[in-house]
Amino acid sequence: MTEATPLSRIERIRLVGLAALIFVILASYAIARPATESLFLGAHGAQSLPWAWLMVGAGSLVVVTIYNRWSATTDLVRIFGVVSGLSAALLVGILLGLQAGLPGMTWALYLWKDLYIVVLIEIFWSFANSTVPEDRAKWWYGLFCVLGSLGGMAGNLGVGWLAQATSTEQSLWAVVPLLAVGGAGGIGLARWAGVEAAGPKKKPSLSDGFVVLKNSRALWLLMALIATTQVAITLVDYQFSIAIEQHFPDADVRTAMIGQVYAAIDLASISLQLATGPILRLIGVPLVLLAIPGLLGAAVAGYALIPRYAAIAAAKVASKAFDYSLFRAAKEILYIPLSHTERTQGKAFVDMMSYRMAKGATSLMLLGLVALQRPDLTLWLTLACIGLWGWITLKLNNSR
């Protein structure tokens, strides 16, 4: 199949359906993330973030176990629909708990925010990787990223208005209908253009995910790459959280400012995503993967030279924009030649565990620096991680 080949009816349904799903889900996250982060910083401060990330890492272990058992026997987009509905129901419960003043609700909200989105995103990309040919993926994936960023921009700009018109806590209710729409869309797409999942004799367990990883060198390298990438990005996030907490003490104003930063991330992401197809075709996946840590390292070095709020905000924008555009598309293409088991159980284990367990590892590093009374080393640790990121990328490119 070439890019000139007309799309079949099922391909058109999948293209439109996947584009709509990524728009709606990332719009929901764009509202949930700034509001949740603002509420958490107001209640517990940036110094509590390492403990929250450790909690998220433990929650990821549970979630990936459940997902691996489920994904082997159920159509992926049907799972997407069900998870969207369950996420909406959990959010309603947490928000009612916040209104009632129940203890621990801001912690529960932070955990929910990090887990629901990583599950939905991994389901989305697993389904795309299982149904989109590699020659089309170089163009379609850029389109998916653009639609996701447009959804994110709509949510990020809207959350500031909602927070200041009502309150940060009340703005989170807008996430519920978006998740409901995503859930209905996932169920509909599964009916019209889903794929039958393989039906193994026994449901896979977490140990099966380890077995898939053990037998695949490509997955090991991808896991190392993703983990290192996320440690570096999380370290940038931590430094940004400290800066914005200090500069914007009012919760609703802080929510609006966080939303504006994420809107800038979406704008930068869209610019890169629109060029993803041509860049991947002209430069190739290996060089794109290698260029990203180099460019991000330059942005972080800029903050080292000019330690101001604007500089760390710019570094955060750069880290997220690359992660959401060129890195995401190039990394996902690496999964396409792998087996179905590697693309589902293996990918879920690698991506969901790497993305969220990386936050746990970062937490331990930060807590260690605090214990040593050397939090000033965080910036240099970030640069070291970016250097390691580049080295792993070289190893991965050489193995292809």
Q: For 230, how many CA atoms within 13 A lie in the half-sphere containing its CB?
A: 24
d(CA 271, CA 229): 21
d(CA 303, CA 298): 9
Environment class of residue 80 by beta-carbon count within 10 Å: exposed (0-12), middle (13-18) or buried (19+)? buried
Tell me how far apart the 2 most distant CA atoms of the chain are, in Å.
62
- 228 with 385: CB under 8 angstroms? yes
Give residue 2's pLDDT. 42
Global model pTM greater than 0.85? no
Place of tokens 């929901």: 28
Give residue 173's pLDDT. 93
d(CA 330, CA 285): 6
d(CA 158, CA 62): 33
The residue type of 6 is P
- DSSP assignment letter at 166: S
Reduced to 3 states (helix: H, G, I; strand: E, B; else coil), residue 126 is: helix
Give residue 197's pLDDT. 46
Give residue 190's pLDDT. 67
pLDDT-flagged residues of the chain (< 50): 1-4, 197-204
Give residue 301's pLDDT. 85
- 116 with 83: CB under 8 angstroms? yes
The residue type of 273 is Q
Q: For 137, how many CA atoms within 13 A lie in the half-sphere containing its CB?
A: 22
Give residue 163's pLDDT. 82
- 343 with 144: CB under 8 angstroms? no
- 124 with 18: CB under 8 angstroms? yes
Reduced to 3 states (helix: H, G, I; strand: E, B; else coil), residue 336 is: coil
49 Cβ partners below 8 Å, 6+ apart? 40, 238, 241, 363
